[in-house]
Protein backbone atom coordinates (compact mmCIF):
# COMPACT_ATOMS: atom_id res chain seq x y z
CA UNK A 1 0.00 0.00 0.00
CA UNK A 2 1.49 3.38 -1.02
CA UNK A 3 1.51 6.27 1.42
CA UNK A 4 0.07 9.57 0.27
CA UNK A 5 2.01 12.22 2.20
CA UNK A 6 -0.29 15.01 0.98
CA UNK A 7 -3.26 13.16 2.48
CA UNK A 8 -1.38 12.67 5.77
CA UNK A 9 -0.60 16.37 5.93
CA UNK A 10 -4.24 17.10 5.18
CA UNK A 11 -5.46 15.07 8.17
CA UNK A 12 -2.73 16.51 10.42
CA UNK A 13 -3.96 19.93 9.36
CA UNK A 14 -7.55 19.00 10.24
CA UNK A 15 -6.41 17.71 13.62
CA UNK A 16 -4.69 21.00 14.39
CA UNK A 17 -7.69 23.16 13.53
CA UNK A 18 -8.94 25.47 16.22
CA UNK A 19 -12.59 25.05 17.07
CA UNK A 20 -13.14 28.75 16.47
CA UNK A 21 -12.12 28.29 12.83
CA UNK A 22 -15.26 26.29 12.04
CA UNK A 23 -18.93 27.18 12.30
CA UNK A 24 -21.83 25.07 13.50
CA UNK A 25 -23.15 24.80 9.94
CA UNK A 26 -22.66 21.32 8.48
CA UNK A 27 -22.29 20.63 4.78
CA UNK A 28 -24.97 17.97 5.13
CA UNK A 29 -27.47 20.72 6.03
CA UNK A 30 -26.85 22.61 2.78
CA UNK A 31 -28.49 22.04 -0.59
CA UNK A 32 -25.71 19.79 -1.84
CA UNK A 33 -26.15 16.49 -3.66
CA UNK A 34 -25.56 13.17 -1.89
CA UNK A 35 -22.50 12.52 -4.07
CA UNK A 36 -20.91 15.84 -3.02
CA UNK A 37 -21.69 15.21 0.68
CA UNK A 38 -20.12 11.76 0.45
CA UNK A 39 -16.99 13.19 -1.23
CA UNK A 40 -16.71 15.81 1.51
CA UNK A 41 -17.00 13.21 4.28
CA UNK A 42 -14.33 11.04 2.66
CA UNK A 43 -12.05 14.10 2.48
CA UNK A 44 -12.69 14.90 6.14
CA UNK A 45 -14.90 17.97 5.65
CA UNK A 46 -17.88 18.05 8.01
CA UNK A 47 -18.40 21.65 9.17
CA UNK A 48 -18.22 24.87 7.17
CA UNK A 49 -15.65 27.61 7.64
CA UNK A 50 -17.06 31.15 8.01
CA UNK A 51 -16.63 32.04 4.31
CA UNK A 52 -18.34 28.79 3.29
CA UNK A 53 -21.11 29.31 5.83
CA UNK A 54 -21.84 32.83 4.50
CA UNK A 55 -21.50 32.22 0.76
CA UNK A 56 -22.75 28.68 0.01
CA UNK A 57 -26.41 29.23 1.05
CA UNK A 58 -26.47 32.15 -1.42
CA UNK A 59 -24.47 30.68 -4.32
CA UNK A 60 -26.39 27.38 -4.14
CA UNK A 61 -29.53 29.44 -4.77
CA UNK A 62 -27.96 31.10 -7.80
CA UNK A 63 -26.86 34.38 -6.24
CA UNK A 64 -23.59 35.91 -7.46
CA UNK A 65 -20.90 36.26 -4.80
CA UNK A 66 -17.98 38.65 -4.24
CA UNK A 67 -16.24 37.18 -1.22
CA UNK A 68 -13.38 38.41 0.92
CA UNK A 69 -11.58 36.28 3.48
CA UNK A 70 -8.06 35.66 4.65
CA UNK A 71 -6.00 33.06 2.83
CA UNK A 72 -6.40 29.51 4.07
CA UNK A 73 -10.02 29.89 5.18
CA UNK A 74 -11.68 27.66 2.58
CA UNK A 75 -12.45 30.01 -0.31
CA UNK A 76 -11.53 27.34 -2.86
CA UNK A 77 -14.01 24.80 -1.49
CA UNK A 78 -16.66 27.53 -1.33
CA UNK A 79 -16.61 28.20 -5.07
CA UNK A 80 -15.90 24.60 -6.13
CA UNK A 81 -18.92 23.19 -4.29
CA UNK A 82 -21.21 25.87 -5.71
CA UNK A 83 -19.83 25.16 -9.20
CA UNK A 84 -20.33 21.39 -8.85
CA UNK A 85 -23.91 21.75 -7.66
CA UNK A 86 -24.81 24.25 -10.38
CA UNK A 87 -23.60 21.86 -13.09
CA UNK A 88 -25.34 18.89 -11.46
CA UNK A 89 -28.60 20.86 -11.56
CA UNK A 90 -28.22 21.38 -15.31
CA UNK A 91 -31.27 19.62 -16.78
CA UNK A 92 -30.57 20.47 -20.42
CA UNK A 93 -31.48 17.71 -22.87
CA UNK A 94 -28.11 18.06 -24.55
CA UNK A 95 -25.23 19.26 -22.42
CA UNK A 96 -22.75 21.47 -24.24
CA UNK A 97 -19.28 21.89 -22.78
CA UNK A 98 -17.31 23.54 -21.36
CA UNK A 99 -19.79 24.81 -18.81
CA UNK A 100 -17.54 26.40 -16.17
CA UNK A 101 -14.38 28.52 -16.27
CA UNK A 102 -12.23 29.05 -13.16
CA UNK A 103 -9.46 31.63 -13.53
CA UNK A 104 -6.43 31.98 -11.26
CA UNK A 105 -3.54 34.50 -11.44
CA UNK A 106 -0.71 31.96 -11.07
CA UNK A 107 0.15 28.49 -12.29
CA UNK A 108 0.63 27.24 -8.74
CA UNK A 109 -2.82 28.37 -7.68
CA UNK A 110 -4.42 26.84 -10.78
CA UNK A 111 -2.70 23.51 -10.05
CA UNK A 112 -3.89 23.61 -6.44
CA UNK A 113 -7.49 24.38 -7.43
CA UNK A 114 -7.37 21.43 -9.83
CA UNK A 115 -6.11 19.13 -7.03
CA UNK A 116 -8.89 20.31 -4.73
CA UNK A 117 -11.47 19.78 -7.47
CA UNK A 118 -10.31 16.19 -7.96
CA UNK A 119 -10.50 15.57 -4.20
CA UNK A 120 -13.87 17.19 -3.52
CA UNK A 121 -15.51 16.03 -6.73
CA UNK A 122 -14.07 12.54 -7.07
CA UNK A 123 -17.52 10.90 -6.94
CA UNK A 124 -18.94 13.24 -9.58
CA UNK A 125 -19.02 12.52 -13.28
CA UNK A 126 -17.21 15.72 -14.24
CA UNK A 127 -14.17 16.22 -16.47
CA UNK A 128 -11.54 18.91 -15.92
CA UNK A 129 -8.91 20.59 -18.07
CA UNK A 130 -5.95 22.25 -16.36
CA UNK A 131 -4.52 25.04 -18.54
CA UNK A 132 -1.46 27.16 -17.69
CA UNK A 133 1.64 28.47 -19.43
CA UNK A 134 5.21 27.29 -19.35
CA UNK A 135 4.81 23.59 -20.13
CA UNK A 136 2.79 20.83 -21.82
CA UNK A 137 1.40 22.99 -24.62
CA UNK A 138 0.21 20.17 -26.91
CA UNK A 139 -0.95 17.98 -24.02
CA UNK A 140 -3.12 20.78 -22.66
CA UNK A 141 -4.46 21.62 -26.11
CA UNK A 142 -5.41 17.97 -26.67
CA UNK A 143 -7.17 17.84 -23.29
CA UNK A 144 -9.63 20.48 -24.49
CA UNK A 145 -10.68 18.26 -27.38
CA UNK A 146 -12.28 15.82 -24.95
CA UNK A 147 -15.63 16.45 -23.30
CA UNK A 148 -14.49 18.94 -20.65
CA UNK A 149 -16.98 20.30 -18.11
CA UNK A 150 -14.71 22.66 -16.17
CA UNK A 151 -11.64 24.58 -17.38
CA UNK A 152 -9.23 25.66 -14.63
CA UNK A 153 -6.25 27.82 -15.53
CA UNK A 154 -4.46 31.11 -16.03
CA UNK A 155 -5.78 33.78 -18.43
CA UNK A 156 -2.91 33.93 -20.95
CA UNK A 157 -2.81 30.29 -22.03
CA UNK A 158 -6.61 30.04 -21.95
CA UNK A 159 -6.95 33.00 -24.34
CA UNK A 160 -4.26 31.47 -26.58
CA UNK A 161 -6.30 28.26 -26.95
CA UNK A 162 -9.57 30.17 -27.28
CA UNK A 163 -8.21 32.11 -30.25
CA UNK A 164 -7.29 28.80 -31.86
CA UNK A 165 -10.96 27.76 -31.52
CA UNK A 166 -9.95 24.91 -29.21
CA UNK A 167 -13.10 25.56 -27.17
CA UNK A 168 -16.03 27.96 -27.00
CA UNK A 169 -17.30 30.17 -24.21
CA UNK A 170 -20.85 30.20 -25.54
CA UNK A 171 -22.06 27.62 -23.02
CA UNK A 172 -20.42 28.87 -19.83
CA UNK A 173 -22.82 28.59 -16.89
CA UNK A 174 -20.36 29.35 -14.07
CA UNK A 175 -17.45 31.80 -14.01
CA UNK A 176 -15.02 32.10 -11.09
CA UNK A 177 -12.24 34.62 -10.45
CA UNK A 178 -9.92 33.61 -7.64
CA UNK A 179 -7.45 36.07 -6.08
CA UNK A 180 -9.02 38.87 -8.10
CA UNK A 181 -6.80 41.58 -6.60
CA UNK A 182 -3.73 39.65 -7.74
CA UNK A 183 -5.19 39.65 -11.26
CA UNK A 184 -4.93 43.44 -11.20
CA UNK A 185 -1.42 43.36 -9.74
CA UNK A 186 -0.17 41.07 -12.52
CA UNK A 187 -1.85 43.05 -15.29
CA UNK A 188 -4.41 40.39 -16.25
CA UNK A 189 -7.47 42.60 -16.06
CA UNK A 190 -7.69 43.13 -19.84
CA UNK A 191 -7.51 39.37 -20.36
CA UNK A 192 -10.25 38.86 -17.76
CA UNK A 193 -12.54 41.33 -19.49
CA UNK A 194 -11.77 39.71 -22.86
CA UNK A 195 -13.02 36.34 -21.58
CA UNK A 196 -16.01 37.63 -19.61
CA UNK A 197 -17.33 39.58 -22.62
CA UNK A 198 -17.37 36.40 -24.73
CA UNK A 199 -19.49 34.43 -22.29
CA UNK A 200 -23.28 34.52 -22.05
CA UNK A 201 -24.55 37.60 -20.23
CA UNK A 202 -24.04 37.79 -16.47
CA UNK A 203 -27.75 37.13 -15.85
CA UNK A 204 -27.45 33.74 -17.58
CA UNK A 205 -24.60 32.38 -15.47
CA UNK A 206 -23.47 32.04 -11.84
CA UNK A 207 -20.57 34.39 -11.11
CA UNK A 208 -18.21 34.16 -8.15
CA UNK A 209 -15.25 36.34 -7.26
CA UNK A 210 -13.00 35.64 -4.28
CA UNK A 211 -10.05 37.58 -2.94
CA UNK A 212 -8.03 38.26 0.18
CA UNK A 213 -8.84 41.95 -0.25
CA UNK A 214 -11.81 43.63 -1.93
CA UNK A 215 -10.38 46.92 -3.14
CA UNK A 216 -12.38 49.54 -5.00
CA UNK A 217 -11.16 48.34 -8.40
CA UNK A 218 -12.06 44.73 -7.58
CA UNK A 219 -15.53 45.75 -6.40
CA UNK A 220 -15.98 47.81 -9.56
CA UNK A 221 -15.10 44.75 -11.67
CA UNK A 222 -17.63 42.70 -9.73
CA UNK A 223 -20.50 45.08 -10.39
CA UNK A 224 -19.53 45.50 -14.04
CA UNK A 225 -19.42 41.82 -14.99
CA UNK A 226 -21.64 40.16 -12.37
CA UNK A 227 -25.35 40.09 -11.71
CA UNK A 228 -25.96 42.16 -8.55
CA UNK A 229 -23.37 40.28 -6.49
CA UNK A 230 -23.67 39.94 -2.74
CA UNK A 231 -20.55 41.24 -0.97
CA UNK A 232 -19.42 38.90 1.77
CA UNK A 233 -16.53 39.96 4.03
CA UNK A 234 -15.11 37.76 6.75
CA UNK A 235 -12.97 39.06 9.62
CA UNK A 236 -12.36 42.43 8.01
CA UNK A 237 -11.15 43.83 11.32
CA UNK A 238 -8.09 41.56 11.26
CA UNK A 239 -5.87 41.98 8.22
CA UNK A 240 -3.52 39.29 9.51
CA UNK A 241 -4.56 36.13 11.35
CA UNK A 242 -4.40 36.24 15.15
CA UNK A 243 -3.06 32.68 14.99
CA UNK A 244 0.26 34.03 13.61
CA UNK A 245 2.84 35.14 16.18
CA UNK A 246 4.63 38.05 14.53
CA UNK A 247 7.96 39.46 15.65
CA UNK A 248 11.04 41.10 14.17
CA UNK A 249 14.77 41.70 14.56
CA UNK A 250 16.93 44.65 13.47
CA UNK A 251 20.15 43.08 12.15
CA UNK A 252 23.01 44.78 10.39
CA UNK A 253 23.49 43.43 6.89
CA UNK A 254 26.41 41.22 7.99
CA UNK A 255 24.26 39.76 10.80
CA UNK A 256 21.44 38.51 8.59
CA UNK A 257 22.93 35.11 7.74
CA UNK A 258 24.09 34.37 11.32
CA UNK A 259 20.64 35.43 12.56
CA UNK A 260 18.84 33.22 10.04
CA UNK A 261 20.98 30.20 10.90
CA UNK A 262 20.58 30.93 14.61
CA UNK A 263 16.77 30.99 14.34
CA UNK A 264 16.77 27.73 12.38
CA UNK A 265 18.95 26.09 15.04
CA UNK A 266 16.92 27.45 17.96
CA UNK A 267 13.38 26.87 16.64
CA UNK A 268 13.94 23.81 14.43
CA UNK A 269 10.90 24.56 12.21
CA UNK A 270 8.98 21.59 10.86
CA UNK A 271 8.46 23.36 7.56
CA UNK A 272 9.73 26.87 6.85
CA UNK A 273 9.58 29.36 3.97
CA UNK A 274 12.25 32.08 3.82
CA UNK A 275 11.18 35.02 1.66
CA UNK A 276 13.68 37.22 -0.18
CA UNK A 277 13.25 40.06 -2.66
CA UNK A 278 15.71 39.06 -5.39
CA UNK A 279 16.94 35.98 -7.19
CA UNK A 280 20.54 36.98 -6.38
CA UNK A 281 19.79 36.94 -2.66
CA UNK A 282 18.06 33.56 -3.00
CA UNK A 283 21.14 32.09 -4.69
CA UNK A 284 23.44 33.51 -2.00
CA UNK A 285 21.31 32.08 0.79
CA UNK A 286 21.14 28.69 -0.90
CA UNK A 287 24.95 28.48 -0.97
CA UNK A 288 25.28 29.36 2.73
CA UNK A 289 22.49 27.04 3.85
CA UNK A 290 23.82 24.19 1.74
CA UNK A 291 27.32 24.72 3.19
CA UNK A 292 25.81 24.49 6.69
CA UNK A 293 24.06 21.17 5.98
CA UNK A 294 20.55 22.45 5.22
CA UNK A 295 18.76 20.94 2.25
CA UNK A 296 16.75 23.69 0.57
CA UNK A 297 14.48 24.27 -2.40
CA UNK A 298 14.71 27.62 -4.20
CA UNK A 299 11.58 28.97 -5.89
CA UNK A 300 11.94 32.08 -8.03
CA UNK A 301 10.27 33.51 -11.10
CA UNK A 302 12.60 32.05 -13.74
CA UNK A 303 12.48 28.43 -12.54
CA UNK A 304 11.04 26.25 -15.36
CA UNK A 305 7.53 25.02 -14.61
CA UNK A 306 8.42 21.32 -14.41
CA UNK A 307 11.25 21.99 -11.94
CA UNK A 308 9.04 24.39 -9.98
CA UNK A 309 6.39 21.72 -9.56
CA UNK A 310 9.00 19.13 -8.59
CA UNK A 311 10.38 21.48 -5.91
CA UNK A 312 6.89 22.14 -4.54
CA UNK A 313 6.13 18.42 -4.41
CA UNK A 314 9.40 17.75 -2.55
CA UNK A 315 8.52 20.49 -0.07
CA UNK A 316 4.98 19.22 0.41
CA UNK A 317 6.16 15.61 0.82
CA UNK A 318 8.79 16.53 3.45
CA UNK A 319 11.75 15.62 1.25
CA UNK A 320 12.81 19.22 1.87
CA UNK A 321 11.58 21.23 4.85
CA UNK A 322 13.17 24.59 4.01
CA UNK A 323 12.23 26.71 1.01
CA UNK A 324 13.71 30.01 -0.18
CA UNK A 325 11.19 31.93 -2.25
CA UNK A 326 10.65 35.25 -3.94
CA UNK A 327 7.17 36.76 -4.02
CA UNK A 328 6.22 34.53 -6.96
CA UNK A 329 5.35 31.99 -4.26
CA UNK A 330 3.66 34.38 -1.86
CA UNK A 331 0.19 33.70 -3.20
CA UNK A 332 -1.69 30.74 -4.49
CA UNK A 333 0.35 28.07 -2.74
CA UNK A 334 -1.58 25.71 -0.50
CA UNK A 335 1.16 23.95 1.47
CA UNK A 336 -0.10 22.26 4.65
CA UNK A 337 1.67 22.58 7.99
CA UNK A 338 4.06 25.47 7.26
CA UNK A 339 5.13 26.22 10.81
CA UNK A 340 7.40 29.24 10.22
CA UNK A 341 7.75 32.09 7.73
CA UNK A 342 10.89 34.25 7.76
CA UNK A 343 11.01 37.55 5.91
CA UNK A 344 14.76 37.65 5.31
CA UNK A 345 14.01 40.76 3.24
CA UNK A 346 11.02 42.90 4.13
CA UNK A 347 8.65 43.15 1.15
CA UNK A 348 8.37 46.51 -0.59
CA UNK A 349 4.59 46.08 -1.03
CA UNK A 350 2.62 46.01 2.22
CA UNK A 351 0.05 43.55 0.87
CA UNK A 352 2.85 41.12 0.04
CA UNK A 353 3.65 41.01 3.76
CA UNK A 354 0.13 39.77 4.51
CA UNK A 355 0.27 37.15 1.77
CA UNK A 356 3.75 35.98 2.77
CA UNK A 357 2.94 35.34 6.42
CA UNK A 358 -0.41 33.90 5.31
CA UNK A 359 1.47 30.79 4.15
CA UNK A 360 1.43 29.72 7.80
CA UNK A 361 -1.48 29.37 10.26
CA UNK A 362 -3.77 28.03 7.55
CA UNK A 363 -7.09 26.36 8.34
CA UNK A 364 -6.98 27.44 11.96
CA UNK A 365 -3.49 26.15 12.77
CA UNK A 366 -0.98 28.40 14.53
CA UNK A 367 2.20 29.76 13.00
CA UNK A 368 5.25 31.96 13.56
CA UNK A 369 6.50 34.82 11.37
CA UNK A 370 9.91 36.47 11.83
CA UNK A 371 10.94 39.59 9.91
CA UNK A 372 14.39 41.11 9.48
CA UNK A 373 14.32 44.92 9.58
CA UNK A 374 17.67 45.31 7.86
CA UNK A 375 19.47 48.42 6.67
CA UNK A 376 18.27 48.02 3.08
CA UNK A 377 14.53 47.48 3.59
CA UNK A 378 13.85 49.03 7.01
CA UNK A 379 11.76 51.78 5.38
CA UNK A 380 9.00 49.24 4.64
CA UNK A 381 8.17 48.45 8.28
CA UNK A 382 6.20 51.64 9.19
CA UNK A 383 3.97 51.13 6.13
CA UNK A 384 3.48 47.45 7.01
CA UNK A 385 2.45 48.30 10.57
CA UNK A 386 0.03 50.97 9.34
CA UNK A 387 -1.53 48.50 6.91
CA UNK A 388 -2.02 45.67 9.41
CA UNK A 389 -3.08 48.08 12.14
CA UNK A 390 -0.69 46.85 14.81
CA UNK A 391 2.87 47.21 16.04
CA UNK A 392 5.19 44.24 15.51
CA UNK A 393 7.26 43.22 18.52
CA UNK A 394 11.00 43.80 17.93
CA UNK A 395 13.43 41.50 19.76
CA UNK A 396 16.95 42.47 20.74
CA UNK A 397 19.66 40.45 18.98
CA UNK A 398 21.48 38.62 21.74
CA UNK A 399 24.54 36.44 21.30
CA UNK A 400 22.58 33.23 21.82
CA UNK A 401 20.41 33.89 18.74
CA UNK A 402 23.35 34.41 16.35
CA UNK A 403 24.91 31.28 14.90
CA UNK A 404 28.67 30.83 15.34
CA UNK A 405 31.19 28.69 13.45
CA UNK A 406 29.36 29.30 10.20
CA UNK A 407 30.76 27.28 7.32
CA UNK A 408 31.57 29.38 4.29
CA UNK A 409 30.34 28.25 0.86
CA UNK A 410 32.98 26.60 -1.32
CA UNK A 411 31.54 28.48 -4.27
CA UNK A 412 31.84 32.24 -3.98
CA UNK A 413 28.40 33.76 -3.31
CA UNK A 414 27.06 36.30 -5.80
CA UNK A 415 28.53 39.72 -4.99
CA UNK A 416 26.54 42.82 -4.27
CA UNK A 417 26.82 45.90 -6.40
CA UNK A 418 27.68 48.72 -4.03
CA UNK A 419 27.85 51.42 -6.71
CA UNK A 420 25.95 54.45 -5.42
CA UNK A 421 26.66 57.00 -8.10
CA UNK A 422 29.80 58.85 -9.08
CA UNK A 423 31.70 60.30 -6.14
CA UNK A 424 32.24 64.11 -6.09
CA UNK A 425 36.06 63.86 -6.30
CA UNK A 426 36.13 61.18 -8.99
CA UNK A 427 36.73 63.78 -11.74
CA UNK A 428 40.16 64.59 -10.26
CA UNK A 429 41.40 61.06 -10.77
CA UNK A 430 43.54 60.17 -13.75
CA UNK A 431 41.66 58.69 -16.71
CA UNK A 432 41.34 54.93 -16.97
CA UNK A 433 44.09 53.07 -18.81
CA UNK A 434 43.90 49.47 -19.92
CA UNK A 435 46.25 47.10 -18.10
CA UNK A 436 47.97 46.18 -21.38
CA UNK A 437 48.22 49.73 -22.59
CA UNK A 438 51.81 51.04 -22.77
CA UNK A 439 52.77 54.64 -22.65
CA UNK A 440 54.00 55.72 -26.12
CA UNK A 441 57.57 56.82 -26.35
CA UNK A 442 57.95 60.47 -27.31
CA UNK A 443 60.82 61.73 -29.49
CA UNK A 444 61.87 65.31 -30.10
CA UNK A 445 60.15 67.09 -32.96
CA UNK A 446 63.53 67.69 -34.69
CA UNK A 447 64.23 63.97 -34.83
CA UNK A 448 60.79 63.33 -36.37
CA UNK A 449 61.34 65.91 -39.10
CA UNK A 450 64.76 64.52 -40.00
CA UNK A 451 63.35 61.03 -40.26
CA UNK A 452 60.55 62.20 -42.57
CA UNK A 453 63.01 63.96 -44.91
CA UNK A 454 65.23 60.90 -45.09
CA UNK A 455 62.25 58.70 -45.88
CA UNK A 456 61.15 61.08 -48.66
CA UNK A 457 64.62 61.01 -50.27
CA UNK A 458 64.66 57.20 -50.20
CA UNK A 459 61.28 57.01 -51.96
CA UNK A 460 62.38 59.46 -54.65
CA UNK A 461 65.49 57.42 -55.34
CA UNK A 462 63.40 54.33 -55.99
CA UNK A 463 61.25 56.02 -58.68
CA UNK A 464 62.43 55.06 -62.24
CA UNK A 465 63.67 57.87 -64.48
CA UNK A 466 61.25 59.16 -67.14
CA UNK A 467 62.48 57.89 -70.55
CA UNK A 468 61.16 61.00 -72.25
Q: Which CATH superfamily is domain 7-233 in?
A: P-loop containing nucleotide triphosphate hydrolases (3.40.50.300)
Residue 100 makes CB contacts below 8 A (sequence gap 6+) with: 83, 86, 87, 149, 150, 151, 172, 173, 174, 175, 176
Closest by alpha carbon to 333, among 108, 78, 80, 132? 108
More confident residue, 234 or 418: 234
DSSP 423: -
What is the pLDDT at residue 329?
A: 55
What is the pLDDT at residue 434?
A: 43
* pLDDT band at residue 240 using 50, 70 and 90 as cut-offs: low
Q: Taking all residues of the chain, what is their mean pLDDT, rounded to a whole number?
A: 82
Give residue-wise pLDDT tens across range 50-62. Answer: 999 999 999 999 9
More confident residue, 212 or 271: 271
Q: Same fold for the domain at 7-233 and the one at 244-401?
A: yes
The pTM score is: 0.66
> What value does the mean pLDDT take over residues 29-54?
93
Kind and range of the H or E run holding 187: none
Query: Is the pLDDT reported for residue 440 higher than 70?
Result: no
Query: Is the pLDDT reported for residue 430 higher than 80?
Result: no
Domain ranges of the chain: 7-233, 244-401
- Three-state DSSP at 102 gives strand
CATH number of 244-401: 3.40.50.300
Angle at 307 between CA 109 and CA 311, to 5 degrees: 70
**Concatenated DSSP letters for 326-375?**
-GGGSSS---TT--EEEESS--SSHHHHHHHHTTSSGGG--EEEEEE--T
Q: From the CA atom positions of the chain, what is the Rg in Å?
A: 31
Distance between CA atoms of residues 284 and 432, nearest Å: 32
End-to-end CA distance of the chain: 113
Residues of the chain with pLDDT > 70: what percent? Answer: 79
- Three-state DSSP at 270 gives coil
Least confident piece of the model among 66-70, 363-367, 458-462: 458-462
What is the pLDDT at residue 452?
A: 53
What is the pLDDT at residue 80?
A: 97
> What value does the mean pLDDT take over residues 5-9?
37
Q: Where are the beta strands (DSSP E) in 139-271?
A: 150-153, 174-178, 206-211, 230-233, 244-249
Give residue-wise pLDDT tens across range 109-119. Answer: 899 899 999 99
**Contact status, residue 173 vs residue 100, Cβ threshold 8 Å:** yes
> What value does the mean pLDDT take over residues 179-208?
90
**Contact status, residue 388 vs residue 240, Cβ threshold 8 Å:** yes
What is the pLDDT at residue 16?
A: 34
Distance between CA atoms of residues 208 and 191, nearest Å: 17
How many angstroms separate the Cα of 335 from the Cα of each of 271, 283, 330, 438?
Answer: 10, 22, 11, 62
Give residue-wise pLDDT tens across range 366-422. Answer: 899 999 999 899 999 999 999 888 899 999 998 889 999 999 988 666 655 443 344
Amino acid sequence: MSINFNQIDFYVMLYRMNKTHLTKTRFSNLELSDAIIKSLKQAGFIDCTPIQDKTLPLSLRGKDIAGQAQTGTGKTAAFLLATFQHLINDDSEKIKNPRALILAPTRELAIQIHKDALLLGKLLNLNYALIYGGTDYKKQLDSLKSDVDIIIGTPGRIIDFYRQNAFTLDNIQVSVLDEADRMFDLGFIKDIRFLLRRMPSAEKRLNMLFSATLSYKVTELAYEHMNNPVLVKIETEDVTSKAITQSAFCPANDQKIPLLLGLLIKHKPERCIVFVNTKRCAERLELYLDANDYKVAVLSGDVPQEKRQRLLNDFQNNKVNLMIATDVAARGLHIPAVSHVINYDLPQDVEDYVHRIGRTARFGASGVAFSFICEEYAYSMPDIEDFIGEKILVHAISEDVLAVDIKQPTKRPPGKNNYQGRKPNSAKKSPYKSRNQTKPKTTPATDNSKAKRADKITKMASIPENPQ
